[in-house]
Amino acid sequence: MPPAGPRSGDAIFASVERVNAELFTLTYGATVRQLLTDLEEVEEVNKQLDQMGYNIGIRLIDEFLAKSNVSRCVDFKETAEVIAKVGFKMFLGIAATVTNWDADGTCCSIILDDNPLVDFVELPDTCQGLYYCNILSGVIRGALEMCLGRDIAPYLKIVTDTQYLAFTKVSMKTEVTWLRDVLRGDDAYELQVKLLKQVPEEYPYKDDE
């Protein structure tokens, strides 16, 4: 049976368990502060935050797919829209907009309308190089690496539905960077997501032929 259409981010957010955003904000703040104390170098902290985000992303994608009914995205363009409209809403309760597409559809910007990570935050002079929200870029990168695409669609007829899902798992390697950051004096939070390459995962079953 084909899955029902994707659910809206609002509907999912309304149905999942939620916690006070301040607990989340302050816990994230405590995490960043701990990293700054331990690692000392701001650059190292950026890296560690990205890594933590990546770890989250590769696990979060399962919950995302399970709750959103988005079983596969046709292309990178659709995927980006889904991240912005459903993903951000479902986990952080915020809306995001996709814009600034390049000509061949492999690079775009995600602009956050709100950002629960940065309440109460101001960067001191010593942390000017810090990408405070770098965990978010890691999450997107991680989730897309585990994303499902539809690049091997011709095989569709010969396999069952479950096999199809496993079959068409396409990992999207991306590069995610901050273009604008309010904490660093810009007027918005803007993440650039650039598709580097799509790698079909290996066929997991024994070939009978």
Partner 1 sequence: MIGVGKIKQYSNVLDKPLSKGKQEVSLSAFAFLFSELVQYNQTQVDNIAELERRLEDAGYAVGARVLELLCHREKGNRRETRLLGILSFVHSTVWKVLFGKVADSLEKGTEHEDEYMISEKELLVNRFISIPKDMGTFNCGAFVAGIVRGVLDSAGFPAVVTAHFVPVEGQQRPRTTILIKFAEEVGALSLTRYSSTQRML
109 binds partner 1 (CB under 8 A): yes
From residue 41, alpha-carbon distances to 37, 118, 127 in Å are 9, 21, 9
Q: Is 34 helix (H, G, I), strand (E, B) or coil?
A: helix
Q: Which of 19, 162, 207, 209 binds partner 1 (CB under 8 A)?
A: 19
111 binds partner 1 (CB under 8 A): yes
Residue 48 and residue 39 in contact, taking contact as beta carbons nearer than 8 Å: yes
Residue type at position 179: L
Least distance (Å) between residue 160 CB and partner 1: 30
> Of 13-21, 144-152, 153-161, 167-175, which part binds partner 1 (CB under 8 A)?
13-21
Cβ proximity to partner 1: between 33 and 173 the closer is: 33
Residue 84 and residue 97 in contact, taking contact as beta carbons nearer than 8 Å: yes
Q: Distance (Å, rounded) from C-alpha 86 to C-alpha 70?
A: 9
Q: Distance (Å, rounded) from C-alpha 86 to C-alpha 78?
A: 11
Least distance (Å) between residue 37 CB and partner 1: 9
Q: Which of 40, 44, 74, 99 binds partner 1 (CB under 8 A)?
A: 99
Site residues (CB under 8 A) for partner 1, limited to 150-189: 180, 182, 187-189
Q: Mask: binding to partner 1, 56-85, rule CB under 8 A, as x and -?
A: x--xx--x----------------------
| Among 164, 167, 171, residue whose Cα is nearest residue 198 | 171
Cβ proximity to partner 1: between 165 and 182 the closer is: 182
Least distance (Å) between residue 94 CB and partner 1: 8
Q: What angle do CA 33, 39, 45 make, to 5 degrees?
A: 65
- Backbone torsion region of residue 204, taken as left when φ is above 0, otherwise alpha when ψ lies between -120 and 50, otherwise beta: alpha
Whole-angstrom Cα Rg for the chain: 18
Tokens for 115, please give them: 């950002």
Cβ proximity to partner 1: between 123 and 165 the closer is: 123
Site residues (CB under 8 A) for partner 1, limited to 112-141: 112-116, 119-122, 135
**Residues at the interface with partner 1 (CB under 8 A):** 13, 16-24, 26-31, 33-35, 38, 48, 52, 55-56, 59-60, 63, 90-93, 97, 99-100, 109, 111-116, 119-122, 135, 180, 182, 187-190
